[in-house]
Structure 1
C-alpha cells in the first residue's frame, strides 16, 4: 500500500484541486473536518470516480450535503484490490467510529454449545476461541438461548453438564441423578457404551436429525418391550413424545446446512437488521440490530454496511439469505469467502423453505421496529411533559444526573449519567473518584464532581446538558448553583430530586432553582417516571463505581506502598508473623529480625501502621 498525503484546507476545501491529482486505483478515503476528526470512511474501486461523486451539483441526499460541507481535508490509502479496500474500510470504521457511517455496535462473542471430547463428554455453554477438543454447535443469539437448549437436552438425553473439577471429585451421585437429569458417569453407574448412545442422540438432535433420533429410540423401545423391560420402554416412549412435541412447536427444514437470514427494514427514521440463526434446519433464535446513522439509508445500503461489520472476524456460515440485494454483493461474497476459507453464498430466496424463513425474519424485524418506535414515542412524550411540568422555554433533549456513593465516607465516588431522546447515552457516562474531602461530606463531593465536569465543558470537552438533575435536597442544589455561577453557567436549569420521608417511589420532592417552592408531580406522572429512571440509573452507576473502588483498595496491602519492600520480602514477612495483623502488632526489633529486613526498613514498616512518632 502507499499513502497519498491529505490536502488540509480548513477554511474551504478545494475539491477541484484535490480531485485533479487523485488516483483512479482502488482504495479507502477518509473525510476529515476542521478539528481533525474523521467524519466518514469509504471504499472505492476507483478513488477518483467515487470521491468526485460527492462534489457534483445534483443527486446528493441532505445527509451527504451536510457532511460534504464539513470536509476540511481528505486522506486516501491506495490498496492492491477492491477486496483489500473493503477489509481496510471495515477495520477503520470499527476503530474510528465516524459519525456519518452506518455503525454496528456489536463486539460480543456469540455463545456455542460444546460437547467435549472426553471419555464421558460434557455438554456446556462455550464462548471464545474453539481451542478445546469436541463438537461445537451454534452460534446462538444469546446465552439465554443456549441455557434453554441445555435445559431441554438434559430432560431428553441425560448427558452430564457439570464442571470437570466437580465431576472428577464425586464419590456419590449428585442431585441431578436423583431427579433423572444425569446417569452418574462420575461414579460408574453407567457404562461408556450406554452413555455414548445419549451423546450420539444429543449430537443428532443438534444437527436437526430429529426423525433419525425418533427412529432409533423407537427401535430401542421395541427391544426393551421384547425383553419385558417395560419400565425402560416407558422412559424411551416419553422421550419420543417429547421430541414430537418439540417438532410441533418449531419448524424444522429438511436442509441440514448452516445459514443466516438477514431482513433489513427502514421506517420512520429508524432502521433494523434482523438476523435469524438457522443451524441443522433448526431456528436457534434471532437478534435485532439497530445500526447508528442509518435513518436515511435504503435497505440495500443498510445490508451493504452491515454485512462486513457483522461477519468479518466471526465464523461465517456457508449461506446468507438476504431480504434485499446488498450493494456490491459480489465483492462482499468474495471477501467473506476469502476470510472464511470456504464458499459463501449471498442470495435472495425465491421459493421453498428459504422464502418461509425470510418471511419469519421480516415479521420479527417489523415487530422489533414497532417496539423501538413505540418506546421512542413514549420517551419523547415524557420529555415533553417534563418541559411542561418545569415550565421550561425549550424541551430538554439531554439530561445529566449526578449522585454520590460511599460507605461511612470511604472511597467516595460521584456518578454522572446522561439521558437523551434515545434513552440512556452510556458512552457519555462518567465516574469521579473524590479525593481531599472530609469523609462523608456529600456536599463537598458534589461540588468537586460538578467542578471537574463543567470545567472540562468550558474547555470544550463534552456536550452541554439542557437540564442538570441532582440526586439530593437543597444542600446539594446550593453546591450545584455555586459551581455553575463560578463557571458562568448560571443559565443552565438545575433540578433537585430528594426522596420523601418514607423513601417511597412517587413521594419525591422536586426543587427547581429559580422557582419558589416545590415542584409537585403526581405519582403516576410520566415526567416523574422519567426523572425516577434517570435518578435510579445514576444511583446504580455510583454504587457500582464505589464498590469497584472499595474492592480494589481492599485487595491492595498497605505493605505494597512501602519503598524497598518487594514481593519476596513481603512474603517472608507475612510467613514469619503469620499474617498482616501480627505484622501490625510487631515492634521495630521484631520486624528487623526477619531475613532481608534492615532496621531502617523495619522502622518504615512500623511507621506505616503507627505513624512517625514511635
Structure 2
C-alpha cells in the first residue's frame, strides 16, 4: 500500500456508505458496501487474505472513492445501483463464484414472484441483479405481504384446475394466497396484482399507491368499509416503503443534484445523478480560486463541466442556491422539503466530507499546517490581535480550604508543552478563597516571567467565570501588562467564554475546534492541579515524628517504618536492632532526638 492510499484510508469517515476501487486506468474494478467505511476499507490492506482473487484485487487498487449515506439500509440499495451501472469486473469474482440474486416473475398462467440466481431465456421477466440476498428477501416479503400471490410450484394450467387436481394449502388459510389452484381467484385479478408488483420492482411505487388510494376512496363512498380498510392497509405499507430511503425515491426522478462548499483557496462541488429515483453516479471535484470569484459563478462552472464530461441531459437540476447561468430547457430548483431536499442534504454531506478529507490528507503530511489552521480559528473566534501560539491556563484546587494549590498549563502551537507546566503552593491565602488564590498565582507567574525576561503568552485562559477572571485581571494591572496580553475566562456550566469588563458571555459552537482546544486547556489544568493537590494531601497525611529528626530522610524513614511499623516500636527497639537497618550514625541521631525530647 503506497502513501497515497494510506492517506485516503486514514481519513475515511466511520460512517455507512459504499466504496469504489479504481485501477491504474481510472476504471472502477470493485464496489462494496460497509456499515463502517473506514474499518471495512482498512481491512483489505491490513488483513492477510486467503483468497487469491482478493489478493489480486488489492494489488490492482490505485485509487479509492466512496459515497456516504444516512443509514446502513441505504448502503445496500446504493451498492446495487452502482454495480448495475458500472459492472465492475471484480465484484462477481469475489462472491465465491455465485452470481447476484435477481427477482423473477415466472412466465406462467399464475406467475410466481421469487428469488433466483439463474437468468434463463424462458420469457420470464427478471429484475436486478441485487447485491445482497437479505435485501432481496426483505423486498419479496414486502411484496407478498402487499399482494397475496402463490408461492407453490404447482403447474396451474386451466385444464388441471378444472379437473380439480389440487387442494388449498396453509397459505390460503392464513390469507397469504387467494386459492387460484382451486379456481377461487380469477386469472384477471391475479394478473392485476402481478402488474402492480412489476411497477414496484421498476420503482414506480407512486402509480401503485395512487391506484390503491383511488379504489379505497371509491369503496368508502360505496360504504364497503371493510374492503376499503383492507386497501388502506396496503396503501400505508407502500407509503412506509417509499419513505424509508434517500438513496431510492418512490418518485421516478431523473434529475441532477449539486451541492457546494468552499474555503479560502478552493471551491468544492458534489454531483449526484439520479435516474428513475436511484442514485447511479456521484462525483466531487474542486476549483482552485484565482480571484475572489462568487460562489454562484463557481457553481455554474461546475454544472457546465459535469454536463460536458458526463453527457448529462437532465431537465431539472437541484441546487443549494441559484447559479450564475441559464440553460435552455433546464429548471433549477431549491427544494425546501421532501425527497429532493433529502437528496440535496445527502449531496451536501458528501461535499463536506470531501473537503474534510482533503484538509486531513494535507495535515497528515504537514502536522504544523493543522496547528496553524486551528490557531487561526481561535484568533478569529476570540477576536485576538495576535496568533495565540503560546497559551496558558490556570486552575485552583482545594478541599474545604486544605492544601490550596494552583496549576498553570502551557500550550504551544495548540498542543500541550508539559515541560513548561507549573504548580503553585498558595502562600498568602487562608481558606477556600478562589478569587484571592487566582490573584496570587497569576501575579507570581507573570512577575517571575517579567523578571526573567521570558516571552509572555499571547492568550491567558482562566478556569472560572467573571469573578476569577476579574481577580486575574487585577494582577495583570498591577504588573502593567493588562491589555497587552489577551485574557478570557471559561465557565464550566455552559462553556461560556467571558471577556474582561464584559458581562455578556460568548458562546462558541459546540463542535468548533476553538472550543475543543479551550476545553482541552481547562481539563488539562484541572487534571494537573488535582494530581498535585492529591500529592500534597498525601504528604501531609503521612507525616510522622521522624520528619522532625535532622539527618533522617524519606528513605531512612521508609526503612524504619517498614521494619518496626510505628514510631513507638522504634523507641522501644534496642540500638543493635536499629543499627541493622540504618547504621550507627543515624541510630545515634534518633536516640539523641528522643532523649532530648524526654528531658
Normalised by the length of structure 2, the TM-score is: 0.33
Select the structure of larger CA radius of gyration: 2
Normalised by the length of structure 1, the TM-score is: 0.32
